[in-house]
Amino acid sequence: MFAVVLRILFAVCMAGILDLPTHQSAAAAPLPEELVFSERFDSPLTRHWEQLKFGKPTDYFLCMDGTNQCLKAVADKTCSAFMTKVRVKPQHRLVARWRWKIDHVPQNASDNVSRTFDHTARIIIAFDTLIGPPRTINYVWANQEKIGTDMRHPLSGRAKMVVVQSGNLLAEKWIPEERDVTSDWHRLFGEKAMPDIVALGVITDSENTGTQVTAYYQNLELLER
């Protein structure tokens, strides 16, 4: 029950990211595709990242996976996010890109039931809101749901989930991803204007299922087109 209560506080905890130091996008000449945020997870990190803990924290650290410099996340009955504050004011269509890899999805985990809600890998984008904690889009490596499925977080309507990968078929392989964040925002929240992005990061968790899972993240980017 304690773990469930902590999950309910997730949206409130997300508000804590607003206290992190801000990364401002560097000015650049107009390009057909303009990079507005980039984190390759090289050593050292290029900006301030911080854990948001919802229980015992997941272990996040930089490592080499073969020839890939990346962020490794090991969750052993743990749950925490690894976040950085940004200030991105989208002027055009916004695209997110990243690469990720998992060892496996948590055994007996669900995608929409709070007591078994765990995921080996998620990318989180948080948006500025006038009232309440930030709303978020979670790009998730799901346990069972089909790729392309949209879901509501079981404990918060302010957090929306988009299934980008699912199951163990592609486990142990580096997978590149690209998402149209602007289109996803309009579809998930139904509002005309997409707010500023105020934070982004990753989350690897296995607290509810009491399992151990490992994820790898690399080359997290936001681009305008």
Domain coordinates of the chain in residue numbers? Answer: 2-224
Q: What single DSSP character describes residue 154?
A: T
Its CATH architecture, for the domain 2-224, is Sandwich (2.60)
- Which residues of the chain carry a pLDDT beneath 50? 1-13, 17-18, 24-31
The predicted pLDDT at position 14 comes to 52
Distance between CA atoms of 45 and 62, rounded to whole angstroms? Answer: 9
Distance between CA atoms of 57 and 207, rounded to whole angstroms? Answer: 10
The predicted pLDDT at position 19 comes to 53
Q: Which two tokens stand for residue 31?
A: 């390009």
The predicted pLDDT at position 157 comes to 86
Look at residue 89 and give its three-state secondary structure.
coil
